[in-house]
Amino acid sequence: MGNPQHYSLELPERCLQLIDELWPHAELVLQKDRPELGSLTTTFLISMSMPIINLPVERVERHRTVIDQGYADDRLIDGATAASITAVLGGQKFCKAPFFSPGSWSYVFCPSDALFNIANGLPEQLAEALGSQEAFDRAGRMPASQWCSVLRNALAHGGIGYLDAGGRSSYGRPVTTYIFVSAKRDEEDHDEMVGLHLLRISEENYRTFLSKWVGWLRSN
């Protein structure tokens, strides 16, 4: 494998190629202790998606308000790509982004009086809320920068939950849906958590999103 010159573009492309070409093989790999739950495609897709999302975000988007060059900063390699990423993720509505698909993402904010631990599963009330049409509409209306931050933080800090076809946490049914959880901190006291951002998407739609995301990066 060659050494990439532009990590923000080349690594996501390579990871997507691995997803596409190895997907039929991943579908044949079953969980050893519970083969009835299906293949390990969820583990494969989440693992491969981390660099696809986080590298462009960390090496370009996170520097969009910084003048000085950072220690891991791809902006100067390709100014046009950096400008496009900054423009799309800089505040416009998520529904206007070229990698948005209607009906794929739903979003709910969980306030401080209802905080929960995703390790213990998703509370039923929030599961119902995430399945509502309002939650899908809300995801489209949220700023693309906020959507990006929620997804990036969830992938970086382990705020990921697996859900079944009904959008519920279960340990005896196959996983078909993901939830990404990111904390909202108090603006003055960053140690104080004031709520949780929740993004939900099906595995099928997440894979489609990754293809559109990389396609967008390529097109810049």
Q: How far apart are CA 11 and CA 59, in angstroms?
A: 12
Q: What pLDDT, on the 0 to 100 scale, is given for residue 7?
A: 62
Tokens representing residue 54 in the block: 């986080």
Q: What pLDDT, on the 0 to 100 scale, is given for residue 58?
A: 67
Q: What pLDDT, on the 0 to 100 scale, is given for residue 71?
A: 39
- pTM here is 0.87
Q: What pLDDT, on the 0 to 100 scale, is given for residue 172?
A: 84
Q: Helix axis angle, 41-59 relative to 7-26, nearest 10°?
A: 180
Q: What pLDDT, on the 0 to 100 scale, is given for residue 64?
A: 47
Task: Find the largest Cα–Cα distance for the chain.
Answer: 53
Q: What pLDDT, on the 0 to 100 scale, is given for residue 72?
A: 44
Listed in order, strand segments (DSSP E) in the chain are 106-111, 160-163, 177-185, 193-202
- What are the 10-residue block averages of pLDDT along the chain, 220 residues in total? 60 92 96 90 96 76 48 48 70 91 97 92 96 98 92 93 94 92 81 91 97 86
Q: What pLDDT, on the 0 to 100 scale, is given for residue 12?
A: 86
Q: What pLDDT, on the 0 to 100 scale, is given for residue 70?
A: 45
Q: How far apart are CA 47 and CA 112, in angstroms?
A: 30
Q: What pLDDT, on the 0 to 100 scale, is given for residue 19?
A: 97
Q: What pLDDT, on the 0 to 100 scale, is given for residue 17?
A: 95
